[in-house]
Amino acid sequence: MNVLSSKKLNLAYGNKIILKDFDIEIKKGEIISLIGPNGSGKSTFLAGIAKLIKADNKCLFVSGKDINVFSFKEMSKTIAFVHQGNPTIEDMKVEELVECGRAPYKSWYNLFNQEDEDIVMWALKETKMYSFKDRKLSTLSGGERQKVWIATALAQKTDFLILDEPTTYLDICHQLEILELIKYLNKKLGITVLMVLHDINQASQYSDKILVLKNGEKQCFGSPSKVLNETLIQDVYGVVTEKEVKRGYPFFKILGLYTKNTDNI
């Protein structure tokens, strides 16, 4: 079953088309990494899924339904987003932020109840942040804050999680902690994951499939071993690499910028 698909999708800011004739099918339970240089259309694609940019009718589908039939509240019950560079409300406690994940299910006549509390505690435990629940966000490290945002997304109780550069600004250890958490949630809960990554080797290691964008167009889509190679990386990023296989995954050593003089490297 496809949890997300598109057919001849175009997305634009004003009159400028950023994403062009874009086709994709993402199946339930997959981890998909979206990679490509800055300005390639990655964030634009996520904005289209988040309904921040309007897609033409019958071009973008969520669980088989045209995305335009979803209200924002309905979408929040279907897809959870962890955005890049989320603001920190210094005086807010961890538990209070995770409670915000229940907002799509609440109204003035349907207030926060025991079921919501149980879901919040579950989300904190799944992300190993339960012991931090009474801490203020301002006291947490960058990696800990990112786990809290993921817990908030979990509290939405969706089957589809989208993360925009979840490892940005984190040191290597915390990057791997976040990626291991994402992998754990995918395997244990069956959550489908679409995430934007800049590290090609991390994308290779933690993804079932990789979607490569350049200049608003899909270059390729498939398993890391099938789509990642030195020629692709040179064409997309303009760098020279050397491919190895480590722990069963393609791994690339960056040798330098590509110029005509580096053809023989």
124-136 tens-digit pLDDT: 999 999 999 999 9
Task: Return phi, psi of residue 197, to 5°.
Answer: -130, 150
2 CB burial (10 A radius; 0-12, 13-18, 19+): middle
203-220 tens-digit pLDDT: 999 999 999 999 999 999
pLDDT score of 263 = 60
What six digits make up the tokens of 60?
């973008």
- Answer whether residue 120 shows pLDDT above 60: yes
What six digits make up the tokens of 133?
């629940």
The C-alpha atoms of residue 194 and residue 209 are separated, in whole angstroms, by 10
* Structural domains in the chain plus CATH codes: 1-78+158-223 (3.40.50.300), 93-155 (no CATH)
First-to-final CA distance of the chain: 44
Residue 97 Cα to chain centre, angstroms: 20
- Answer whether residue 173 shows pLDDT above 90: yes
10-43 tens-digit pLDDT: 999 988 999 999 999 999 999 999 999 999 999 9
Which CB contacts under 8 angstroms, 24+ apart, belong to 240-248?
240/265, 247/205
**Mean pLDDT along residues 105-110:** 87
pLDDT score of 99 = 97
pLDDT score of 60 = 97
pLDDT score of 109 = 83
What six digits make up the tokens of 72?
């924002």
- Answer whether residue 164 shows pLDDT above 70: yes
The partner residues of 256 in beta bridges, in order of sequence, read 240
